[in-house]
A = this chain, B = another copy of it.
């Protein structure tokens, strides 16, 4: 049997057919065009799924289920999506709307949760009984696997790891709190810190960039720029603080790091591992490996598909 995964982003919709082992058989995409309204977008999602099935050379009969990853959360009590800030959705019955087009079981979950599942089935965390997946992008998304299953909590509101408060009273967050981890550990944080450092250090090569991106800061740090190295050191320090919280809390087998900032590779995870070793509570006991996620952008399709496995 095959599974279809639909990855719903603010910019693009992607769909793909995935086999039992989590391998992608076909892949299609189109612009999301949020401004069309949720009914048109969800209908488009269903048709994109059918297109992926056609492209894979299979039929709907070969498909067990459709999974959908959204930048939001499904309320398990209602089967509806209460809101997706990035999509402007409020109380959208995604499952019902898609089933008007495709008569198959449909599963919906958070995009970071879905990516977590993907890494746990076919990526760096494959086979781990417990794992945490982090995506360091505009924000910090997270997912938790316990006993081999994605764990979203009793009310489906868990694994919002980016909104763990690590600097109480710190930077204002979009969620209304202050000091959320994602204010210090996201690509956005790296940009903010890099921009501030550039102003303070006119000699820094950070000032050569027209717009400072996370990559600008990472590349400047890699090139040995003093201001960028200081920023990157502060960034990995904050990253390590959140990781030590994850370890001290649920002690997973492995923590997989994905998202834009993870493109920095070993340059990122090496100092994080070193800082972590000094911060974990039980220093003489084994604790989670910190590894780079391996599936990249495909994690959205693979994980969504695997929701029905």
Contact = CB atoms under 8 A, between A and B. Distances in A.
Contacts of A73: 282, 285
A249 B155 contact: no
B285 A241 contact: no
Q: Main secondary structure on chain A at its contact with chain B?
A: loop
Interface in A136-155: 144, 146-147, 151-155
A150 to B, nearest CB: 12
A217 interface: no
A129 B147 contact: no
A116 interface: no
Interface centre among A129, A154, A156 (most CB of B within 10 A): A154
Nearest to A246: B249
Contact of A158 (B154, B160, B249, B286): B249
Contacts of A282: 73, 82, 157, 160
Contacts of A167: 167-169
Nearest to A160: B248
17 contacts: A130-B153, A152-B251, A155-B288, A156-B251, A157-B247, A159-B250, A160-B248, A164-B245, A164-B249, A165-B166, A165-B241, A165-B244, A167-B169, A168-B184, A168-B241, A176-B279, A249-B249
Interface of A: 73, 75, 82-83, 128-130, 144, 146-147, 151-161, 163-170, 175-177, 184, 237-238, 241, 244-253, 278-282, 284-288
